């Protein structure tokens, strides 16, 4: 499997990396939150859909520059649409326009592109031309789709040029959690790019912690209780849990 290297962070090997979302509404609040989160994160996920100036290209670019100066970890730019659990209800054209402004800013290290956005190839090409890896993603806050659908979509993400394939779903039962874990292992063996699979809510906690065991490259954690999705664990606690899981796997390997 290929890895994705961004600054000193390598996705797809070792302990899953921790991304902490920044969901503040104002520029000043976002910069402060990013700086605080960078102390316990491997990556910062700037959730642009929460930013009140997201449609103002100049304000967005200025904020991204300020965040870049405030942190020394990679910045993942995410514009999560309302249909996939975000707070911005926007047209496909507006979605594409905002992502292009983020790419053109030169102030981001990775970018999230929703598989359902309608113009994935153009956005992937634009990002790659700027040297920015793409996380292709899909989210379902209501259920966990059938196995075949999830695997087809993850494979499509790879075929469309994504550098990382991400799926986040809402398990409705323990069986759904087991399916997500099993699918993570299957997808990690099937795809040549890093995979992120997450089960949201309290039932999905295992999927956030056991990524190294099953093959998920990145997990999302919160700071000061500001979660961007149901079930996110405090980043400091997450760091400890991932280290404990790593030690368990090492012990199992020598038995």
pLDDT at residue 226 in the model:
61
pLDDT at residue 49 in the model:
97
Q: What confidence tier does 227 reach under pLDDT thresholds 50, 70, 90?
A: low
Q: Which pair of structure tokens corresponds to residue 80?
A: 């999560």
The CATH number that applies at residue 68 is: 3.20.20.70
pLDDT at residue 34 in the model:
96
pLDDT at residue 161 in the model:
98
pLDDT at 58 over 80: yes
In a domain, residue 218? The reply is yes
Number of domains, the chain: 1
Kindly state the average pLDDT of the residues 106-129. Answer: 97
What DSSP string describes the chain?
Answer: ---EEETTEEETSSSPEEEEEE--SSHHHHHHHHHHHTTT-SEEEEEGGG-TTTT-HHHHHHHHHHHHHH-SS-EEEE--BGGGT-SB---HHHHHHHHHHHHHHT--SEEEEEGGGS-HHHHHHHHHHTT--EEEEEEESS----HHHHHHHHHHHHHTT-SEEEEEE--SSHHHHHHHHHHHHHHHHH-SS-EEEEE-TGGGHHHHH-HHHHTB-EEEEESTT--SSTTPEEHHHHHHHHHHHHHHHHHHHT-
CA separation, residue 190 to residues 14, 152, 158, 206 (Å)? 18, 11, 10, 22
pLDDT at 100 over 90: yes
For residues 197 and 183, the answer to whether their CB atoms sit within 8 Å is: yes
The angle subtended at Cα 134 by Cα 84 and Cα 71, nearest 5°, is 95
In a domain, residue 161? The reply is yes
In a domain, residue 6? The reply is no
In a domain, residue 166? The reply is yes
Residue 65: how many CB atoms within 10 A of its CB?
14
In a domain, residue 8? The reply is no
Q: Which pair of structure tokens corresponds to residue 128?
A: 């790659």
pLDDT at residue 65 in the model:
98
Handedness of CA 142, 80, 216, 21 (dihedral sign): negative
pLDDT at 229 over 70: no
For residues 119 and 99, the answer to whether their CB atoms sit within 8 Å is: no
Q: Which domain holds residue 170?
A: 14-253
In a domain, residue 3? The reply is no
pLDDT at residue 225 in the model:
58
Q: What is the pLDDT of residues 101-115, one digit of tens each?
A: 999 999 999 999 999
pLDDT at residue 98 in the model:
97
pLDDT at residue 255 in the model:
72
In a domain, residue 95? The reply is yes
What is the pLDDT of the chain when averaged over all its residues? 94
pLDDT at residue 118 in the model:
86
Question: Looking at the annotation, which residues are catalytic?
Answer: 139, 166
Q: What confidence tier does 216 reach under pLDDT thresholds 50, 70, 90?
A: very high
pLDDT at residue 228 in the model:
57
Q: What confidence tier does 223 reach under pLDDT thresholds 50, 70, 90?
A: confident
In a domain, residue 97? The reply is yes
């Amino acid at each position: 499997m290929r890895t994705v290297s961004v600054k000193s962070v390598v996705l797809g090997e070792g302990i899953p990396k921790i991304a902490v979302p920044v969901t503040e509404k104002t520029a000043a609040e976002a910069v402060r939150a990013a700086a605080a989160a960078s102390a316990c994160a491997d990556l910062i996920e700037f959730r642009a859909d929460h930013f009140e100036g997201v449609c103002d290209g100049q304000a967005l670019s200025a904020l991204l520059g300020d965040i870049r100066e405030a942190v020394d970890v990679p910045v993942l730019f995410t514009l999560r649409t309302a249909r996939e659990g975000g707070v911005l209800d926007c047209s496909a054209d507006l979605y594409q326009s905002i992502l292009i402004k983020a790419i053109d800013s030169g102030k981001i290290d990775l970018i999230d592109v929703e598989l359902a956005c309608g113009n994935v190839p153009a956005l992937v090409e634009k990002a790659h031309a700027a040297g920015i890896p793409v996380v292709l993603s899909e989210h379902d806050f209501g259920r966990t789709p059938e196995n075949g659908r999830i695997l087809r979509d993850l494979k499509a993400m790879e075929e469309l040029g994504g550098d990382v394939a991400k799926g986040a779903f809402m398990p409705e039962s323990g069986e759904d959690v087991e399916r997500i874990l099993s699918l993570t292992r299957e997808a990690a063996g099937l795809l040549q790019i890093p995979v992120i699979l997450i089960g949201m809510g309290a039932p999905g906690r295992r999927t956030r912690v056991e990524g190294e065991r099953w093959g998920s490259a990145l997990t999302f954690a919160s700071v000061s209780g500001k979660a961007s999705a149901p079930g996110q664990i405090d980043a400091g606690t997450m760091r400890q849990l991932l280290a404990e899981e790593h030690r368990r796997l090492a012990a199992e390997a020598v038995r």
